[in-house]
Amino acid sequence: MKIILIGFMGSGKTSVGKYLSGILNLEFFDMDFEIEKKESKSISNIFKGFGEDYFRKIESEMLKNLIRKEKCIISSGGGIVLNNLDILKMESNVIFLDADVNTIKLNLEKDICKRPLIKKENLNEKNIKEILSNRYQKYIDCSDYIIDVNNKSIETISREIIKNVL
């Protein structure tokens, strides 16, 4: 079984992915982490040094590589839906962790350092809404399951995923 988690920054993809991989005994891949390993640079430095277009290119390549695996859990980056809708639509367990602006803001406040698109100085509802509005329909369009993650623990979200997917 392969599960692909999608959703905005701060929706809990990495935490849920790690938790699920423990329960289901499946290998876990966090796309940002894999990209950092491959490029030997942080996501922030890739954006700074080479720009967003370059990042999107290697992000799409990484997805194509990881998606070949039969059994795993993949936590994607929040912008994966910008260029990869077709490939995601062909997969059967794409799960959208649907978080509202408030949840996203609270989660990002706890962990902002690796995200070049939302920094401390522009972490506000207006900015989150703006980026999210360009993506929301895309998350919906390529997902097989949508999980409302607001006010839920990682365990609850993971149990909901297992109930729906297994």
Chain positions contacting ligand S3P, by CB under 6 A: 9, 13, 32, 43, 77-79, 115-117
Beta-sheet strand order (sheet of 72-75):
27-30, 72-75, 2-6, 94-98, 145-148
Task: Between 66 and 70, name the residue whose CB sits nearer to ligand S3P.
Answer: 66
Q: Which two tokens stand for residue 45?
A: 């430095």
Task: Between 32 and 98, name the residue whose CB sits nearer to ligand S3P.
Answer: 32
- Cβ 119 to ligand S3P, closest distance in Å? 10
Rg (CA), the chain: 15
- Cβ 77 to ligand S3P, closest distance in Å? 3
- Cβ 153 to ligand S3P, closest distance in Å? 19
Task: Between 70 and 132, name the residue whose CB sits nearer to ligand S3P.
Answer: 132
